[in-house]
């Protein structure tokens, strides 16, 4: 990747974060370094330390970016009749796009997703990180609430339902990004959503 030779004064932190997101997916967490980011940005090796005390702080900031992006994806995921497995009138029609967005995010950014829920990310929550994790969870809470108003599992505790749906999404995201489903079981990973909806319905 060709290093930048200049950057607009004042935007170095965002330049470093943007490049870190790219480098994380391309090279993995173990190869991510502040010095490497400095080289890309065309600044001195010490310049990034004005914005991040160390790599741990950089990772916490990346986790916050990740939860922001996840929240935006989930909030923007509307029910699309032409893409829906269950149809817009089905009680779980609001859950389908939320699950699709969650697992889809993990598929597009597997390294970032793993970081977000690792000790480097999830255990170092900033207010921004917490707020955006809550935004993403709010999408599941709203979808479950809507499903219950339409008659789905009305006798069950909504908090337990939300946690169960989240664990389902999180489990599928992990299995798919880590390619944990053995070929010999004969399951097509592209059918994960259909399996989810069948289990929930």
Say if residue 22 is in the same domain as residue 104.
no
Q: What is the CATH number of the domain that holds 33?
A: 1.10.10
Spell out a b/e string for 55-89, using b for 16 or more CB atoms within 10 Å of the CB, else e.
beebbbbbbbbbbbbbbebbeebebeeeebebeee
Say if residue 21 is in the same domain as residue 109.
no
> Which one of 2-6, 54-58, 88-92 scores highest in mean pLDDT?
54-58
CB neighbours of 20 closer than 8 A, spacing ≥ 6?
32, 37, 58, 62
Query: Is residue 3 one of the residues assigned to a domain?
Result: no
Give yes or no for residue 91 having a pLDDT over 90.
no
With contact defined as beta carbons under 8 Å apart, do 136 and 70 qualify?
A: yes
Range of the domain at 45: 12-50
**Token reading at 40:** 């890309």
Please tell me which residue, 120 or 185, carries the higher pLDDT value.
Answer: 185
Give yes or no for residue 21 having a pLDDT over 90.
yes
DSSP state of 16: H
Q: State the residue for tokens 């065309």.
A: 42
- Find the helix packing angle between 95-108 and 55-75, rounded to 10°: 150
Say if residue 78 is in the same domain as residue 157.
yes
d(CA 31, CA 22): 12
pLDDT level of residue 168 (50, 70, 90 thresholds): very high
DSSP state of 156: S
Say if residue 26 is in the same domain as residue 118.
no
Q: Which long-range CB contacts under 8 A does 192-195 form with residues at least 24 apart?
A: 192/103, 193/85, 193/96, 193/99, 193/100, 193/103, 194/85
Query: Is residue 4 one of the residues assigned to a domain?
Result: no
């Amino acid at each position: 990747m060709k290093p930048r030779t200049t950057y607009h004064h004042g935007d170095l932190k965002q330049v470093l974060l943007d490049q870190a997101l790219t480098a994380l997916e391309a090279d993995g967490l173990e190869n991510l370094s502040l010095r490497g980011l400095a080289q890309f940005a065309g600044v001195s090796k010490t310049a990034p330390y004005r914005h991040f005390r160390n790599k741990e702080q950089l990772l916490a900031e990346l986790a916050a970016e990740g939860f922001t992006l996840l929240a935006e994806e989930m909030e923007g995921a509307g029910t699309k009749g032409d893409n829906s497995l269950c149809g817009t009138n089905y009680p779980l029609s609001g859950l389908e796009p939320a699950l699709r967005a969650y697992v889809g995010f993990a598929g597009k950014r597997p390294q970032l997703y793993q970081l977000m829920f690792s000790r480097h990310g999830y255990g170092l929550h900033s207010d921004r990180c917490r707020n955006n994790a809550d935004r993403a969870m709010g999408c599941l809470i709203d979808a479950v609430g809507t499903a219950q108003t339409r008659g789905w599992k009305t006798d069950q505790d909504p908090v337990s339902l939300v946690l169960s749906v989240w664990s389902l999404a999180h489990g599928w995201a992990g299995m798919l990004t880590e390619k944990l489903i053995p070929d010999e079981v004969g399951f097509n990973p592209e059918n994960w959503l259909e399996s989810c909806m069948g289990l929930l319905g």
